[in-house]
């Protein structure tokens, strides 16, 4: 198998499709030039929730078996899934697919730093239009990426075509923006109001965020074997980087909320990132919470006519 980097330039420049868990104004193409703080958020997410991710890849291994040689990381970002899965499956190699060349560059240099360069190749492509040249994958991992696709049905058909018969698709999606404030801190339900405002915005611009992937998978010819919602939570003593993660996420969503929550809430949000006493970067009372939903599915077996 060749490990050369393969590039398919298939960006879509038209329909808006937001990028982060949170930034509703970015188009697919925006991230190519400036991933805009997202890489650091993704890397912190990977570091902070590493034990949760290890448990998840362990669950994948139980379903996929040990003999996983070729993995596709769809919408790979900086490589959170790529590196977790390379560790879980020590003889596997990964094709990391992303529409953002900037993300893929970061992933490649991280792979080299970890001495994993020869187990990773990249494919720059719009995963919503299929996965050209990718066949016989044992496992496709799509984390926080499927909701970006303009047409999930076409994207899922491409995944199905890339998987070998009996191969496994693991989908993970984050259930809205994470929350950080302990109960009773700040104006009551501030984060709930921000979250609702962002959900409204995403519903306008990114209609597949929060989609019922179980139904979409079934409609696309997959048989869903597991579906779970798991709360991922960090409490004191917080790991290093938790405050920075909170800061970056809040900073990233802040600009989208002008005019969508009232002035008092905006001021309260600003106090969380202004360097003052309420700033999330130097608090030890944060509780970082997000819900991760996962679906494990395989291409449904064609029913063969029985022989008489």
Ligand X SMILES: C[S@@+](CC[C@H](N)C(=O)[O-])C[C@H]1O[C@@H](n2cnc3c(N)ncnc32)[C@H](O)[C@@H]1O
Residue 129 or 272 with smaller CB distance to ligand X: 129
By CB under 6 A, is residue 249 in contact with ligand X?
no
Which two three-digit tokens encode residue 238?
């917080």
Q: Min. distance of Cβ 264 from ligand X in angstroms?
A: 30
- Least separation in angstroms between residue 126's CB and ligand X is 4
Assess 75 for contact with ligand X (CB under 6 A): yes
Q: Which stretch binds ligand X (CB under 6 A): 75-83, 115-123, 177-185, 262-270?
A: 75-83
Nearest Cα residue to 130 out of 99, 171, 107, 170: 99
In the complex with ligand X, the residue whose CB is nearer, 72 or 268, is 72
Question: 33 phi and psi, to 5 degrees?
Answer: -80, -50
Q: How many CA atoms lie within 13 A of 1 on its CB side?
A: 19
Closer residue to ligand X, CB minimum distance, 88 or 143: 143
C-beta of 96 vs 268, nearer to ligand X: 96
Q: Which is nearer to ligand X, 21 or 202 (CB)?
A: 21
- Cβ nearer to ligand X, comparing 52 with 271: 52
H or E stretch at 274: none
The backbone region for 176, taken as left when phi is positive above 0, alpha when psi lies in -120 to 50, beta otherwise, is left
Among 98, 138, 173, 265, binds ligand X (CB under 6 A): 98
Q: Smallest gap, in angstroms, from Cβ of residue 63 to ligand X?
A: 19
Find the radius of gyration of the CA atoms of the chain: 20
The DSSP result for 125-165, as a single string, is --GGG--TT---EEEEEEES-GGG-S-HHHHHHHHHHHEEE
Our CB check for ligand X shows the closer of 268 and 295 to be 295
The residue whose Cβ lies closest to ligand X is 77
Whole-number Cα distances in Å, 93 to 82, 84, 178, 250: 9, 12, 31, 35
State the nearest-atom distance from the C-beta of 240 to ligand X, in Å.
19
Q: Which two tokens stand for residue 237?
A: 């003593």
Residue numbers 42-61 binding ligand X by CB under 6 A = 42
Cα separation, 276 vs 297, in Å, equals 47
Q: Does 20 bind ligand X (CB under 6 A)?
A: yes
The whole-angstrom separation of Cα 269 and Cα 177 is 14
Find, among 13, 32, 36, the residue nearest to 24 by Cα: 36
The nearest distance, CB 188 to ligand X, in angstroms, is 29
Tell me how far apart the alpha carbons of residues 149 and 206 are, in angstroms, rounded to a whole number: 9
With CB under 6 A as the contact rule, the residue among 24, 77, 152, 158 that binds ligand X is 77
Q: Can residue 100 be called a binding residue for ligand X (CB under 6 A)?
A: yes
Q: How far apart are CA 109 and CA 210, in angstroms?
A: 32
Q: With CB under 6 A as the contact rule, which of the stretches 95-103, 163-171, 271-279, 283-291 interacts with ligand X?
A: 95-103
Q: Which of residues 142-201 bind ligand X (CB under 6 A)?
A: 143-145, 148-149
Q: Which residues bind ligand X (CB under 6 A)?
A: 17, 19-21, 28, 31, 42, 75-77, 80-81, 97-100, 103, 126-128, 143-145, 148-149
């Amino acid at each position: 198998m060749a490990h050369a980097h393969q590039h398919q330039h298939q960006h879509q420049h038209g329909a808006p499709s937001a990028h982060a868990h949170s930034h509703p104004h970015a188009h697919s193409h925006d991230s190519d030039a400036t991933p805009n703080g997202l890489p650091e958020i993704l890397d912190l997410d990977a570091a902070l929730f590493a034990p949760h991710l290890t448990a998840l890849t362990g669950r994948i291994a139980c379903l996929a078996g040990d003999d996983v040689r070729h993995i596709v990381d769809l919408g790979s970002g900086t490589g959170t899934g790529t590196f977790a899965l390379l560790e879980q499956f020590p003889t596997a190699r990964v094709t990391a697919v992303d529409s953002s060349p900037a993300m893929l560059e970061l992933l490649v240099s991280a792979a080299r730093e970890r001495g994993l360069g020869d187990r990773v190749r990249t494919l720059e492509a719009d995963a919503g239009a299929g996965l050209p040249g990718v066949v016989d994958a044992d496992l496709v991992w799509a984390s926080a990426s499927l909701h970006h696709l303009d047409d999930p049905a076409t994207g899922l058909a491409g995944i199905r075509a890339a998987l070998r018969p009996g191969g496994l698709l693991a989908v993970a999606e984050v259930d809205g923006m994470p929350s950080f404030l302990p109960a009773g801190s700040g104006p009551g339900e501030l984060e709930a109001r921000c979250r609702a405002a962002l959900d409204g915005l995403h519903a306008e611009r990114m209609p597949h965020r929060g989609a019922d992937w179980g139904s979409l998978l079934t409609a696309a010819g997959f048989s869903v074997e597991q579906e779970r919602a798991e709360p991922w939570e960090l409490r004191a003593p917080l790991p290093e980087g938790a405050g920075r993660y909170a800061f970056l996420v809040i900073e990233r969503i802040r600009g989208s909320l002008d005019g969508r929550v009232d002035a008092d809430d905006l001021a309260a949000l600003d106090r969380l990132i202004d360097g003052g006493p309420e700033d999330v970067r130097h608090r030890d009372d944060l509780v970082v919470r997000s819900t991760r939903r996962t679906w494990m599915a395989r291409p449904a077996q064609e029913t063969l006519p029985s022989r008489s």
